[in-house]
């Protein structure tokens, strides 16, 4: 699967929306220069696609929530667009554009090189069964060469070479060569892992893609150096996915009912090129943070990796905390804890002062407050969370130092000249000690470390992590399978039943749906009694037996609110929304049981659900309870 950074969102009603629209209206179209700021780059992108008839949809939340519970964070623009990629009508039309904030956990260990980031923004645009390959390729190429004035001679492209399931994408190569008049020698066919994107879950929409690379004028790394190489010579700046397939639960690829184009262009990478930088960390999106760090350390080559990791991780932490995520030892909270502690560890390597992260938070807010004003609004919360985590980690570090000193003493007693790879990795895994820190302390004691052994242990850990990650959510709403659609509909019945039994203060706080069960988080301050659990279960099953209709009606957001529909995650809604009624709103003889604003999909009648059974009720976090349930 391709490693591109796609993006999208469908949230409206936030200050971000007004910002996007205002910059699109007020910007002077011909203001082009090679030192374009990130703000100007955002404006140029939006204006270009507005002129092409696209409608702006604001950035979605970093938490996919109900739109795709198969992933921890929004890493791809298709997460909130899945229902529309599968055929539902989007309220903003068939041609969409946005700037999406994203987090990728698999790039945490790559952060610090020239281009990889944990938090990043994507310039995204989509065609939902409107234009196809030729217009999409023209749009991307013209934006890069006519608007941004990138050197055509430094651009290369890749296309899908085909596999046993899907044929070679010669049509795309032909468009590049004959329509764009692109030189054949810079068109490369690459395999599935490079040029076939998706699905995000086990099944769902997917398709071949064409990626656009820019030559950074660096020496080649070897005779096989070309776009797709892991050196920094060729930087991927855009990816056009031609989403025409759906991978089914039988591991087959079938044609979608409609053809979609899903395009992502990397903001930080393009800013790097436009600002004549050699890494993303030398752009206006990072320099204020880097300069703040250098107030304490100065600028040295030896410090580059550490300061880049700190800058990347503090940015990611600020945005995650602004979404309401708190450090913990599971799921999203674990990722936040990991990047915060990693930033603190590297701060120690640079001998940065205590609480140095506070000033860096201010710099992150300064960079983004006009684009994502929510981080300014939540500044106090962000600083408090980081301060608390810093204090906790200080205690862990002390314990780690004691363990390291004990291991060093043991080596000296046994007259061993190096720390084993397992010892070094255990210090990394259990106490958060980076390899560099352990190496530095060992060197002071005239000891070496077994780096090869450490790397082997680390690879074992990564393999286990990937296995755990892929197994965390076996499937989800993103695949739109019959079973997950049923569980999704059941959450509506469960939500309303909880409100009837526990009171209207109950509000959904999140859900995770797999093919085996549903998981539903809701606000409630105490453990439910057995009697309450049984009562909720009985209400849901009563409504299933009543065979209530599930009806969708599209209306504007204001009317939806007036109707009494529950809005679970209001920030992602557009001016028009879908309200799902369980119970017929036109039948005056009996009241509607549930009304919720939701993107879908859902079943047609409640009786399709079978029998509802609550298998567990437990605490999720402070003031939030969690129910797990199954359908028979």
Is the distance from CB of 100 to CB of 8 less than 8 angstroms? Answer: yes
Tokens linked to 221: 């790394």
What tens digit of pLDDT does each residue of 410-449 get?
Answer: 999 999 988 999 898 888 777 767 677 788 788 888 999 9
- pLDDT band per the 50, 70, 90 thresholds, residue 184: very high
CA atoms within 13 A on the CB side of 157: 25
The tens digit of pLDDT for each residue in 126-183 reads: 999 999 999 999 999 999 999 999 999 999 999 999 999 999 999 999 999 999 999 9
Better-predicted residue by pLDDT, 243 or 435: 243
| C-alpha span between 280 and 289 (Å, rounded) | 12
pLDDT number for residue 77: 74
More confident residue, 96 or 619: 96
pLDDT reported for residue 569? 47
In the predicted model, is pLDDT for residue 391 greater than 70?
yes
Among 34-48, 55-69, 135-149, 242-256, the range with the most confident prediction by mean pLDDT is 135-149
Higher pLDDT, 301 or 133: 133
493-500: average pLDDT: 96
Place 573 in a pLDDT band, splitting at 50, 70 and 90: low
As a whole number, mean pLDDT of residues 186-196 equals: 94
Q: What is the pLDDT of residue 17?
A: 45
Q: What ranges in 224-303 are assigned the alpha helix state H?
A: 267-274, 287-297
Among 293-297, 425-429, 497-501, which is the least confidently predicted range? 425-429
Query: What is the pLDDT confidence band of residue 542, given thresholds at 50, 70 and 90?
Result: very high
Question: What is the distance between the terminal CA atoms of the chain, rounded to a whole angstrom?
Answer: 35
pLDDT mean over 534-557: 92
Query: For the segment 316-345, what is each residue's pLDDT rounded down to a tens digit?
Result: 999 999 998 998 867 788 889 889 988 998
Residue 192 has pLDDT above 50, yes or no: yes
Sign of CA dihedral 75, 80, 82, 85: negative
- Percentage of the chain beyond pLDDT 70 is 88
Nearest CA to 491 among 585, 587, 619, 598?
598
- pTM beyond 0.75: the answer is no
Residue 198 has what pLDDT? 76
pLDDT > 80? residue 112: no
DSSP assignment, residue 568?
Answer: S
C-alpha radius of gyration, the chain, whole number: 26
The predicted-structure confidence for 11-37, as pLDDT tens digits, reads as follows 333 334 444 444 444 433 333 334 799
Q: What is residue 581's predicted lDDT score, i.e. its pLDDT?
A: 93
- At residue 304, does pLDDT exceed 50? yes
pLDDT of residue 357: 95
pLDDT at residue 58 greater than cutoff 70: yes
**C-alpha torsion angle, residues 397, 398, 401, 403 (rounded to 10):** -100
Q: Which are the contacts of 89, defined by CB distance < 8 A and separation ≥ 6?
A: none
C-alpha span between 249 and 253 (Å, rounded):
10
Q: Which long-range contacts (CB under 8 A, 24 or more apart) does 408-417 make?
A: 408/441, 408/442, 408/445, 408/447, 411/447, 412/445, 417/447, 417/448
- What whole-number distance in Å separates Cα of residue 453 and Cα of residue 420? 7
């Amino acid at each position: 699967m391709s490693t591109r950074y796609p993006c999208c969102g469908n949230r409206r009603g936030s200050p971000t929306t007004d910002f996007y629209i205002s910059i699109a209206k007020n910007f002077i179209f011909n203001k082009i220069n090679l030192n374009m700021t990130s703000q100007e780059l955002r404006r140029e992108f939006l204006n270009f696609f507005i002129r092409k008839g696209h409608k702006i949809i604001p950035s979605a939340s970093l938490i996919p929530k109900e739109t795709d519970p198969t992933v921890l964070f929004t890493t791809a623009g298709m997460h909130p667009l899945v229902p529309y990629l599968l055929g539902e009508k989007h309220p903003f039309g068939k041609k969409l554009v946005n700037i999406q904030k994203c987090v990728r956990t698999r790039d945490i260990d790559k952060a610090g090189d020239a281009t990889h980031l944990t938090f990043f923004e994507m310039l995204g645009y989509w065609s939902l069964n409107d234009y196809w390959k030729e217009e999409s390729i023209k749009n991307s190429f013209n934006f890069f060469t006519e608007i941004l004035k990138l050197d055509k001679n430094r651009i290369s492209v890749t296309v899908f070479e085909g596999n046993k399931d899907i044929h070679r994408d010669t049509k795309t190569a032909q468009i590049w060569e004959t329509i764009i008049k692109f030189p054949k020698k810079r068109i490369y066919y690459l395999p599935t892992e490079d040029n076939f994107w998706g699905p995000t879950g086990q099944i769902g929409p997917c398709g071949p893609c064409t990626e656009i690379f820019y030559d950074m004028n660096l020496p080649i790394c070897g005779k096989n150096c070309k776009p797709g190489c892991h050196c920094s010579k060729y930087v991927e700046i855009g990816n056009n996915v031609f989403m025409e397939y759906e991978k089914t639960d039988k591991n087959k690829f079938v044609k979608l009912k409609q053809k979609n184009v899903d395009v992502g262009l990397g903001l930080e990478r393009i800013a790097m090129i436009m600002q004549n930088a050699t890494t993303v960390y030398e752009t206006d999106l990072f320099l204020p943070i880097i300069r703040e760090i250098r107030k304490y350390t100065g600028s040295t080559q030896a410090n580059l990796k550490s300061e880049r990791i700190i800058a990347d991780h503090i940015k990611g932490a600020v945005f995650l905390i602004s979404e309401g995520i708190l450090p913990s030892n599971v799921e999203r909270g674990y990722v936040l804890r990991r990047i915060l502690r990693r930033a603190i560890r590297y701060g120690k390597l640079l001998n940065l002062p205590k609480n140095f992260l506070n000033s860096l938070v201010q710099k992150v807010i300064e960079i983004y407050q006009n684009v994502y004003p929510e981080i300014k609004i939540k500044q106090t919360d962000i600083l408090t969370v980081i301060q608390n985590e810093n204090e906790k980690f200080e205690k862990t570090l002390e314990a780690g130092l004691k363990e390291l000193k004990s291991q060093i003493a043991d080596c000296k007693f046994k007259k061993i000249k190096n720390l084993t790879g397992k010892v070094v990795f255990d210090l990394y895994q259990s106490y958060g000690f980076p390899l560099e820190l352990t190496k530095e302390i060992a060197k002071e004691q005239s000891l070496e470390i077994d780096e090869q052994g450490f790397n082997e242990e680390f690879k074992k850990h990564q393999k286990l992590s990937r296995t755990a990650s892929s197994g965390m959510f076996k499937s989800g709403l993103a695949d739109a399978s019959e079973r997950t659609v049923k569980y999704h509909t059941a959450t509506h019945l469960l939500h309303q039943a909880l409100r009837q039994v526990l009171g209207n203060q109950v509000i959904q706080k999140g859900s995770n749906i797999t093919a085996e069960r549903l998981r539903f988080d809701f606000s409630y301050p105490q453990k439910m009694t057995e009697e309450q659990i049984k009562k909720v279960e009985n209400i849901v099953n009563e409504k299933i037996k009543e065979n209530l209709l599930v009806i969708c009606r599209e209306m504007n957001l204001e009317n939806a609110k007036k109707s009494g529909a529950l809005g679970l995650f209001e920030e992602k809604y557009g001016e028009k929304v879908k309200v799902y009624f369980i119970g017929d709103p036109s039948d005056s003889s009996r009241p509607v049981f549930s009304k919720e604003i939701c993107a879908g999909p859902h079943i047609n009648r409640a009786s399709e659900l079978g029998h509802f059974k609550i298998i567990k009720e437990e605490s999720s976090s402070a003031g939030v309870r969690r129910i797990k349930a199954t359908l028979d």
